[in-house]
Amino acid sequence: MARRKQIYEGKAKILFEGPEPGTIIQYFKDDATAFNNQKHAVLEGKGVLNNRISEYIMMGLERIGVTTHFIRRLNMREQLVRHVEIVPIEVVMRNIAAGSISKRLGLEDGAVLPRSIIEFYYKDDKLGDPLVSEEHITAFNWANPQEIDDMMAISLRINDFLSGLFAGVGIKLVDFKVEFGRQYEGDMMRLIVADEISPDSCRLWDMESGDIMDKDRFRKDLGDVTDAYREVARRLGVLRESENPGQSGPVLVSDNGD
Ligand code: TMP
Ligand code: ASP
C-alpha cells in the first residue's frame, strides 16, 4: 500500500489524507507539550487514551445533536474525521478558576466562577495563543459574528453535556478548550466541533480528593500523567479493568487494529 500523505504535524497529533475525499486520518501521538512547546515529553500510552476518550466524548456529543468531525475510530491511535477548515480560535469555557484566568485576574484556584465564562484565544504558536476579544476576531476576519454566536452556543451545550458526564463519574469539569471547523457542502457551510476533547484539553478534578486528572499533572510536574488519563478513561467506561496492554492498570476495550 502506498504510504499515506501527511498533511500536518502538530504537537500532539498528525493528520494524514483520508481514504475518501473530505476525510482525514487523525493520529494521536504520545507527545505532550506545555507552555507553547517549552516543555516536552513523550508519555507512553497517552495517544491511545486520548484517542479513546475523545472518540467517546465526540460520539456523546453527536447523540445530543452537536455535530463533530468524528466519523469512526480506525485503531488504537487513529480516527477518521471530516476534513474541515479550522477556525483559528480556541474557545475556552471555564466553570472554576484555574490556570491562566487565576493568574490574569488574581483569582484563587478552585473558586467557583459567578457564571461559566467563555474566552477566545487566537491560534498562533509564535504569539503563544493570545487572549482576544470578539472585536479582534471580527476585525481580522478570523470568524464572523454569526460564527462567534454559533461557537458560543455550541460551547455552552458542550459544557452542559460534559459537566454532567464527568459529574456522573465523580469528576469536576473545571474548564475545557474546544476548536471548530468549517465544513462546506455545496454552497452551504456549517461549523462543527473539531480537534479533540481529552484530558489534554480539559481540567478535570476528582470530586472527592480534588486530585488533578488532566494535563496539569504534566504542566506542574505532578507525575503519573497517563495513570490519571487511564483513570478518566476507566471511569467513563472505555477501559476494561481485567486486561493489561503492557502497562499496569486497566486496558482498552475492543480495539480493532494497530
Ligand atoms: P488556560 O487556563 O491555560 O488558559 O487553559 C484553559 C483550558 O484550555 C484548559 O483546560 C487547558 C486548555 N488548553 C488547551 O487545550 N490548549 C492550550 O494551548 C491551552 C493554553 C489551554
Ligand atoms: N498546548 C500548549 C503547548 O503545547 C499549551 C498547553 O496546553 O499548556 O504549549
Tell me the three cell numbers of residue 146: 454569526
pLDDT in tens, 181-232: 999 988 999 999 999 999 999 999 999 999 999 999 999 999 999 999 999 9
Phi, psi (rounded to 5 degrees) for 190:
-135, 155
Sheet arrangement for strand 78-82:
6-9, 13-17, 23-28, 78-82, 70-73
Indicate which ligand has the atom closest to the C-alpha of 176: 1
15 Cβ contact list (under 8 Å, min separation 6):
6, 7, 8, 9, 24, 25, 26, 27
pLDDT in tens, 120-157: 999 999 999 999 999 999 999 999 999 999 999 999 99
Residues with CB under 6 A from ligand 1: 92, 99-101, 129, 175-177, 201-203
pLDDT-derived band at 247 (thresholds 50, 70, 90) equals: low
Please determine, for residue 246, whether its predicted confidence score (pLDDT) is greater than 90: no
Please determine, for residue 21, whether its predicted confidence score (pLDDT) is greater than 50: yes
Task: Give the residue from 223, 214, 119, 228 showing the smallest Cα distance to 162.
Answer: 214
Please determine, for residue 242, whether its predicted confidence score (pLDDT) is greater than 60: no
pLDDT in tens, 80-126: 999 999 999 999 999 999 999 999 999 999 999 999 999 999 999 99
At residue 37, the pLDDT reads 86
Protein residue with its CA nearest to atom 7 in ligand 2: 34
146 Cβ contact list (under 8 Å, min separation 6):
none
Confidence (pTM)? 0.93
Distance 91 CA to ligand 2 centre (A): 14
Helix or strand or coil: residue 50? helix
pLDDT-derived band at 239 (thresholds 50, 70, 90) equals: confident
Q: Sketch out the chain's domains with CATH numbers.
A: 6-83+225-241 (3.30.200.20), 85-206 (3.30.470.20)
Please determine, for residue 48, whether its predicted confidence score (pLDDT) is greater than 80: yes
Distance 3 CA to ligand 1 centre (A): 34
pLDDT-derived band at 4 (thresholds 50, 70, 90) equals: confident
The CA-atom distances, in angstroms, between 97 and each of 100, 105, 160, 175, 219 are 9, 10, 17, 8, 17
**Do residues 210 and 98 lie in contact, with contact meaning Cβ atoms separated by under 8 Å?**
no
- Count of alpha carbons within 13 angstroms of residue 178, beta-carbon side: 30
Indicate which ligand has the atom closest to the C-alpha of 219: 2
Distance 43 CA to ligand 1 centre (A): 19
